[in-house]
Amino acid sequence: METNPEPIWDPEDLEQAVTILSQGGVILYPTDTIWGIGCDATRQDAVDKIFRIKERPAGRSMLILVKDIEMARDYTLESSPTIWEVMRESIDPLTLIFPQATNLAANLPAPDGTIGMRAPKDPFCQALLTAFGKPVVSSSANRSSNAPPRFFGEIPASVLKKVDYVVRWRQEDHSPGKPSTVVRINEDGEMEMIRP
């Protein structure tokens, strides 16, 4: 009989993060790239909190993390099998900017209706997205005018104080994270490299 291995993070840490997300709160959590500020991507009040924490101008979109292609399909009108295959087969972190966001907080997509999505392969992110059951916003853990922190120790105290929960997992990891590759998908389903 096959058993699932014990998670390497504290299950209570994950449970608390999910509870805060469910209540419309904001978490600070490790992603497959860099530390992110996250919330329920379907709640406008929660997204507003991140804008305030980051001192980010309204109208500047943030990306979302989705568990998998099946979850992603619920939040964009994109239907090209090729696009989904690119998302599925990507080895390195890949953010796809889709042209038509749907079912998300009204203040989350860009003014042109686009939304960036990434399906992380990171086990903690996968566990978080599975337990929460909805997409989670992922925006770098910094004020909008500053460079993103490469690891937990570089996150400004001003950000740490304003979130509702700080995930304990990987706080001691000093490996520098790096942003994902970004590819834009136009209305015709063609792809354009934005950030290699």
> pLDDT digit string (tens) for 118-158?
999 999 999 999 999 999 999 999 999 899 998 999 999 99
Strands 181-185 and 136-140: unpaired
Evaluate if residue 1 carries a pLDDT over 60: no
What is the C-alpha to C-alpha distance for residues 194 and 181, in angstroms, rounded to an integer?
8
> pLDDT digit string (tens) for 40-82?
999 999 999 999 999 998 778 899 999 999 999 999 988 788 8
CA-nearest of 14, 10, 185, 194 to 97 is: 185
pLDDT classification of 175: cutoffs 50, 70, 90: confident
**DSSP-based three-state secondary structure for 29:** strand
Task: Establish how many alpha carbons lie within 13 A of residue 154's alpha carbon, considering only the half-sphere containing its beta carbon.
Answer: 19
Q: Measured between alpha carbons, how far is residue 195 from residues 54, 90, 178 in Å?
A: 22, 15, 12
Which ranges of 95-194 would DSSP assign to H, the alpha helix?
123-132, 157-162
Concatenate the DSSP letters of all residues of 122-149 into one string: -HHHHHHHHHH-S-EEEEESS-TTSPPP
Contact 132, 101 (CB under 8 A): no
- Between 81 and 108, name the one with better pLDDT: 108
Q: Measured between alpha carbons, how far is residue 26 from residues 99, 137, 192 in Å?
A: 26, 9, 32
Share of the chain above pLDDT 70, in %: 96
What is the C-alpha to C-alpha distance for residues 94 and 187, in angstroms, rounded to an integer?
19
> Could you tell me the two tokens for 74?
């619920």
pLDDT classification of 7: cutoffs 50, 70, 90: low
Domains and CATH numbers, the chain: 11-195 (3.90.870.10)
